Structure 1
Amino acid sequence: MADGLTTARPERERPRRPVRVRLLVQYRMVPWWLRVTVVYVLARIVTTGLLAAFARVQTQNSFTLASPHYLDFATIWDGRWYALIAQTGYPATLPIGTDGAVTENAWAFMPAYPFLVRGLMVATGAGYAVVAVTVSVLFGWGAALLFRRLVGRFLPEGTATFATVLFCVAPVSTMFQVAYAESMGVFLLTLALWLLVTRRFWWMLPVVVVLGFTRPTGLAIALTMSSYLVLRFVRRSSADPLSLRTAVPPAVVAVVAGLVGLAWPTIAWAVTGVPKAYTDTELAWRQSYIGRHELVPFAPWIQGFDWWFHEPAGGVLLVLVLAGFAGFLLMPAAQAIGPELRIWSASYFVYLLAVFFPQSSTWRILMPLFPMLAIVARPRWVTYRVAVVAVSIALQVAWMYFCWWINGYDWTPP
């Protein structure tokens, strides 16, 4: 005390947290859905910039004028088929070429996406391009949110978030913002897989039905559910028994998925009067490669690798692809994503082997294998993760150059 006054003691300063710790705390306070939304928006900004760059140098072609606007550029290729379906529906008579074979037509495309677009066009008065691209962007956003929830059941939080980053910047993630049904299909497939993992089988039924009329996945889901039941039977235990009561729901989903997988070919037959209307239409897209052939299950990949690489190199490469895929799904790191996602990936790949001819659309057709991104995301090294993102964006550029941008000879759609 001095002159009747007391001297206040200075308060002891609290130790400041390191900047990295403070940022981590603030990051964890942000809701997971907002983090995913930010990632998705940033990814779409990057892809929009790449598409705009290609559009600026795009010359006049059968779809657009030179240097088209984004919406025009985002609705080329199959986007024009979906526009035709949205505006006029499906033909009652199949177009026939001079060789007597069915030529390319709208029956190759499932109805759910273009009919949804048509309904929104009528409800809003907006044009096809605006509605179609908006629908794709919104379904892509929903798919990213669902994917984060799905892989979050198997992976640590940070790894699940990085897997979602890869999902948003994948080499063919352009599909999330163009007039294709892939975005809607991926959303519904992610929802179906989440319901499978959480064993909400009855809820899967409407999702599987709509999905089957969005993208041709019904037979692959039927194989998935059948394989799932076999695995449950083999691994049954007192902790996870398989009884008649627990087996019926997934069995019903398998049957319904199989029926959905056969429904669209049946509808095409009923409308056109041609029993093989759908398969003949699908085969039209590969005639420019290998000529006119009947669909023989599991022959297309042999034919495709022979066409692309010739024998014996084609056969050797095909064996390496098959062995590499199997090895990837069976390696120890893949165990982390659970059996359901691996069963789906294997089933879909088998389905592709049975019916799909590998060509320029292959990379887009492989999109439903997105659960495998959760395996790719597992290494936690910063350098690795930065490199994977950079490579993914670089591959977006490569995909746009070789498959989307119309550069000279129009050889086949993406």
Structure 2
Amino acid sequence: MADGRVTAGTVRQPAFAGIALRVALIYVVARVVTTAFLAIAAELSGFDSRFGPEAQLADLVLGWDARWYWIVAETGYPTELPRTDAGTVAENQWAFMPVYAYLAKLIGLPFGHWGVGAFVVSLAAGYGASVALFCLLRERVDQNAAMWAVAFFAAGPLAALFQVGYAEPLFLLWLFLALWCVVRRRYAWLYLLIPLMGYTRPGVLAFALFLGLFGIWRFLRRDSDPLRPREVVHIVALGLLSVAVGFSWQLLAGWVTGEPGAYLATELAWRRNWIPGEAAFIPFEGFVSASAFWFGSVWGLPAELGYVALALGIILVAGLLAISPQVRRLGIEIRLWSASYLLYLLLVFFPQSSIFRLLLPLSPLWGAVALPRSTPWRAGVLAACLVGQWWWIYNMYALGNAIWQIP
């Protein structure tokens, strides 16, 4: 217990039931606040907004990427890639994985509408993710800090995603459960969770990198923490499974459409909204191009300043993951996952307004924010979360009419 880790037999069922109830109370209160924010945003929506002056809550649930998941559920995936007038691949369903879309369709069948199923899946998955996050953090920090971290997560700046048609809540549920399994060395469950992650939304390749780094760390510590052959087999097999699942969607898209680069071309279709003419995927190029784009083309600053900001940001984040006492308290698993996921984003993503949403898989780091025992600090963080949540909802749903107002 010196490292703050709770052993497998510590939490009994009654205690878990009490924890689930406390998390539910926090989650319900957070959802009431978010509903109020969304209702105000719908009321403020005007003619310039994507949702128009007569927007209703249901319109917001089905807005933005929810429309694509709805299309996937109703029509499936195209066998021929749509093209723009310039002949490039246009935006299409291959950018959206199937699990969330079809699960929402299944849940929505009794109600006669996909949107109801999407709302229910997001809401329930968000609660499940909150419970899983508590269990994950409780392995390393005390119960009070873990519960505060759940409050920050449930009421955070992107908490509206727990009530709209996005796959993030479901992905976070699988992810937090998977990380918890790694912490507790329950590897067998990962053979189910990894495919669920991989076909819910992109990101499972980051989990493959995480498993590789985790295996190296366990090997280096084998003298103090024995590494049994059975565990080696699991880590290697699960890493290979993650890689296979991660690339299988690209292979499937290529096979169905007859174009080997169908998936990457589809993803680049969104990037061309910011940088027209971008024709090929090059690792790391997205962040480099975006640094020049935002600093130079959008903000009118020297493009070189963007490169400096990018380098300093990488150094700062790496330093926090490596030496911050609060982050180190969370354990090597969360630190390695955070580093792996950030490296994955650097490799594949073009940073724009969606970057806030794509950072959600780093939510276990809320545990580090919750560690200071000062009540004013925790209350201040919670207040900042709510302010950030309203700012995000107002810009993405009440306004939603500028290049940087896309969730």
1:271 maps to 256
In structure 1, what is the equivalent of residue 4 of structure 2? none
Give 1:8-407 correspondences, 5 Å limit. 31-60=18-47, 64-122=51-109, 124-237=110-223, 239-293=224-278, 294-310=280-296, 311-330=303-322, 331-407=324-400
- C-alpha deviation, 1:57, in angstroms: 1.4
| TM-score relative to the length of structure 2 | 0.91
CA deviation after TM superposition for structure 1 residue 173, in Å? 1.3
| CA displacement at 1:66 relative to structure 2 | 2.3
Cα distance in 2 between the residues matched to 1:252 and 1:29: 31
> 2:395 touches 2:405 (CA, 8 Å); kept in 1?
no
For the 8 Å contact 2:284–2:348, the answer to whether it is kept is yes
User: CA 1:30–1:111 in structure 2 vs 1: closer, same or farther (change >3 Å)?
Assistant: closer
Cα distance change of structure 1 residues 131 and 349 upon mapping to structure 2, 3 Å threshold: same
Question: How far did 1:29 drift?
Answer: 12
Instruction: Give the Cα separation in 1 of the matches to 2:360 and 2:65.
Output: 16
1:99 positional shift: 1.4
* Displacement after TM superposition at 1:319 (Å): 1.2
Shift of 1:67: 3.1
* Structure 2 residue identity aligned to 1:312: E
Count of residues in correspondence between the two structures: 385
Segments of structure 1 that go 5 or more residues without pairing to the other structure are: 1-27
SS of the residue 1:170 aligns to: coil
Q: 1:412/1:163 Cα in 2 relative to 1: closer, same or farther (>3 Å)?
A: closer
Give identity over the alignment, percent. Answer: 38
Q: What's the secondary structure of 2:81's corresponding residue?
A: coil
Q: TM-score, normalised by structure 1?
A: 0.90
Check whether the contact 1:218–1:259 (CA below 8 A) recurs between aligned residues: no
For the Cα contact (< 8 Å) 1:360–1:403, is it kept in 2? no
Q: Distance in 2 between matches of 1:360 and 1:269?
A: 29
What RMSD in Å do the two structures reach over aligned CA positions? 1.7
Contact 1:195–1:203 (CA<8 Å) still a contact in 2? yes
Q: Distance in 2 between matches of 1:390 and 1:215?
A: 30
The higher radius of gyration belongs to: 1
Local SS of the residue matching 2:281: coil
Q: Which of 1 and 2 has higher RCO (CA within 8 Å, sep 6+)?
A: 2
Maintained 8 Å contact 2:90/2:269: yes
